[in-house]
Chain A
Amino acid sequence: MLRKTFWGTAAFASLVLAAPSLAQTIGFSQIGSESGWRAAETTLTHQQAEERGIDLKFADAQQKQENQIKALRSFIAQGVDAILLAPVVATGWESVLEEAKEAEIPVVLLDRTVDAPEDLYLTAVTSDLVHEGNVAGQWLVDAVAGEPCNVVELQGTTGSSPAIDRKAGFEEAIAGHDNVKIIRSQTGDFTRTKGKEVMESFLKAEDGGRNICALYAHNDDMAVGAIQAIKEAGLKPGDDILVVSIDAVPDIFKAMAEGEANATVELTPNMAGPAFDALAAYMTNGTTPPKWIQTESKLYTQEDDPMAVYEQKKGLGY
């Protein structure tokens, strides 16, 4: 947070003082810092820009669309070469995107899409939430290898699109494998506390956990909470109960290193890398990228040297 504030200030100072430079200048309008993942995305965007020698102008919108629109207008006025936008909401972007288009500044959407005509932006770099659920489900199907397995599911916040899509993807993967069955599914609000509390109730309701073969959590935080509940109930997470979740935040790698979690599917915070690559191709060769660049939903298991991944991810601001 401190770090980000510093960047915000630095970015602002550079907005005021910026002298025209030879390097590419790209504006980045970030939603805010509501989660560790978002913080990591910001960190990685800065890193990726630095690696490529790009002058990144960063604006933190603090969860407000009007701040983002203001930031975009300011980027346009300064004549940046391109704009990255992580939109806080889906609607209301047409006019400012048209302004960018008139100024011939390509806009790349990060992490989320908008409800606007496709010709108003160059491309959108996002992950596929359904696919993530699917990868998790596929791992479980493979792991149990035909043995009967009762799954308990910790859903994300009821009604949110990650909760809906990750559930759908998982169910899609286990469809047709009658040995794998979801026996309980409850929301854990994406938090550790609720994840732990709900897992405690699952354990009570399912014969002290003896009836549970695996846990599928819609994010790692809930899984981390649930792992503690499993341990406190006297069972071995990762062994008595398999644990698979999504996001790949550092703490789940620690749990994997300790054998308490089995697998996680990465929602990569590196949305900027593919975006910069697409922009570079577009600007140098005029290659138009597809309208949707899907980031990789990489599966990590205990075999992937989780401690090394942990060390590598730890500094990203998760």
Chain B
Amino acid sequence: MSRTREFLRRILPQLVTLAAVLGLIAAVYPGFFEVSMANGRLYGSLIDILNRGAPVALLAIGMTLVIATRGIDLSVGAIMAICGAVAAAAITSGLGLAAALGLALAAGLACGLWNGLLVVLFGIQPIVATLILMVAGRGIAQLVTEGAILTFTHEGLIFLGSGAVFGVPTPVLIWFAAGALALLVVRRTALGMLIEAVGINRRAGALAGVGAGALIVAVYMVSGLCAGMAGVIAAADIRGADANNAGLWLELDAILAVVIGGTSLLGGRFSIAASLIGAMIIQSVNTGILLSGFPPEFNLIIKAAIIIVILVLQSPRLRAGPRLRRPGGRVRGASAAEKKERVTS
């Protein structure tokens, strides 16, 4: 009972933000909330947000776990390109849907394994370790597609990107299912707590017997798997694998979704649900800008302004209220060294 309340309280700021963003768009564009059935599928801007937000939502699931361990994964955009390319190459070479999906997701897992091993075995900082694949990954994807947009006509694969089940677009179902599964696995097993323990204090976790190394590798593999699913969806959506552009800069949107979701980049406490809402907030802003009809030169400025407002409103200092701020002019104020001492003593 209290766990449900705890959960709702955790995601409340994100829900309020999402509602505010949606309200703002509706004010600019009145028909925003209309949803109808057309062509055998749900049709409306809200559905577009859920559908278009699928890649970032999937990335945000893995990214949340990686960030919870005090890491970061810059390579997810490139992994999307690789996995989309693998799926397209497999399907065009005549393999079946299951085999193509299996290969694509295996490629995602392998990319995650590579990142994880760099971080754990060689102790490379996550931002640097994943930067390697971020840069090299598109090259690998281009090798697979031979530099062109590799198009396919396999209806089964296309269905994953632009099909619908009972009117709901497939990508929406996929990210909902992946999110629910991740949420369940993380909170119904001890995984969530162990990840948080390792993220807050890796040494303390290891000394308590937590297999921190294996856990961190696993988390990067999950991130790779999520990026793989996102890559397949992105390719299926346009019926082709675009090695140059698939998932381009989406790693930054995924990180932003996690941050909007209130998970600290310093690791520790995390909420996958809040990150998913964060992903929807970002997509709502994107879709809202498109609907607004402003000239494209303003897109980035509007997006940046909205996101700054969101982050400032959610900042811990503002939420905690002014009482946290120290009164100035304490006679013997604590110096930085003293604060550090308090932590280490």
Enumerate 10 A-B pairs (CB-CB under 8 Å) in ascending A order.
Answer: A1-B146, A186-B296, A192-B245, A197-B286, A204-B291, A221-B242, A228-B238, A232-B39, A251-B151, A251-B240
Which residue of B38, B242, B295 contacts A192 across the interface (Cβ within 8 Å)? Answer: B242
Select the stretch in B42-50, B184-192, B303-311 that faces chain A: B42-50
List the 3 shortest-distance A-B pairs measured between CB atoms, nearest first. A201-B290, A234-B39, A187-B296
Q: Could you tell me the distance in whole angstroms from the C-beta of A310 to the nearest C-beta in chain B?
A: 11
A-B interface contact total, Cβ < 8 Å: 97
The CA of A271 and the CA of B31, in the complex, are separated in Å by 48
Q: Could you tell me the distance in whole angstroms from the C-beta of A188 to the nearest C-beta in chain B?
A: 9
Q: Could you tell me the distance in whole angstroms from the C-beta of A22 to the nearest C-beta in chain B?
A: 34
Q: Is A8 an interface residue (CB 8 A)?
A: no
B293 near A184 with CB under 8 A, answer: yes
The CA of A232 and the CA of B40, in the complex, are separated in Å by 10
A228 near B162 with CB under 8 A, answer: yes
With A193-B237, A224-B238, A318-B148 given, is the CB distance from A233 to B45 under 8 Å?
Answer: no
The CA of A189 and the CA of B48, in the complex, are separated in Å by 19
A34 near B146 with CB under 8 A, answer: no
A185 near B48 with CB under 8 A, answer: no
What range describes how many residues of A lie at the interface?
35 or more
Q: Is A4 an interface residue (CB 8 A)?
A: yes
Q: List, in ascending order, chain B residues with CB within 8 A of A39's CB.
A: 147-148
- A38 to B, closest residue via Cβ: B147
Q: Which of B205-245 contact A (CB under 8 A)?
A: 234, 237-240, 242, 244-245
Q: Could you tell me the distance in whole angstroms from the C-beta of B216 to the nearest C-beta in chain A?
A: 31
A193 near B238 with CB under 8 A, answer: yes
Q: Is A120 an interface residue (CB 8 A)?
A: no
B299 near A204 with CB under 8 A, answer: no
- B51 to A, closest residue via Cβ: A200
- A190 to B, closest residue via Cβ: B245
Q: Is B52 an interface residue (CB 8 A)?
A: yes
B43 near A2 with CB under 8 A, answer: no
Per-residue CB contact flags for chain A residues 187-210 toward chain B (1 = under 8 Å, else 0) read 101111100111011101100100
Which residue of B38, B290, B299 contacts A234 across the interface (Cβ within 8 Å)? Answer: B38
A193 near B44 with CB under 8 A, answer: no
With A1-B143, A208-B38 given, is the CB distance from A197 to B299 under 8 Å?
Answer: no
The CA of A200 and the CA of B47, in the complex, are separated in Å by 11
The CA of A159 and the CA of B143, in the complex, are separated in Å by 30
Q: Is A146 an interface residue (CB 8 A)?
A: no
Q: Could you tell me the distance in whole angstroms from the C-beta of B24 to the nearest C-beta in chain A?
A: 16
Q: List, in ascending order, chain A residues with CB within 8 A of B299's CB.
A: 158, 187
Q: List, in ascending order, chain A residues with CB within 8 A of B151's CB.
A: 251
With A34-B244, A200-B48, A233-B39 given, is the CB distance from A3 to B146 under 8 Å?
Answer: yes
A193 near B296 with CB under 8 A, answer: no
Q: Could you tell me the distance in whole angstroms from the C-beta of B232 to the nearest C-beta in chain A?
A: 13
Q: Could you tell me the distance in whole angstroms from the C-beta of B28 to the nearest C-beta in chain A?
A: 11
The CA of A4 and the CA of B142, in the complex, are separated in Å by 11
Q: List, in ascending order, chain B residues with CB within 8 A of A197's CB.
A: 48, 52, 286, 290
The CA of A55 and the CA of B130, in the complex, are separated in Å by 42
Q: Is B246 an interface residue (CB 8 A)?
A: yes
Q: A192-B240, A318-B148 are in contact. List 10 more A-B contacts (CB 8 A).
A: A2-B146, A185-B296, A191-B248, A196-B237, A201-B291, A221-B149, A221-B242, A228-B237, A251-B149, A251-B151
A201 near B45 with CB under 8 A, answer: yes
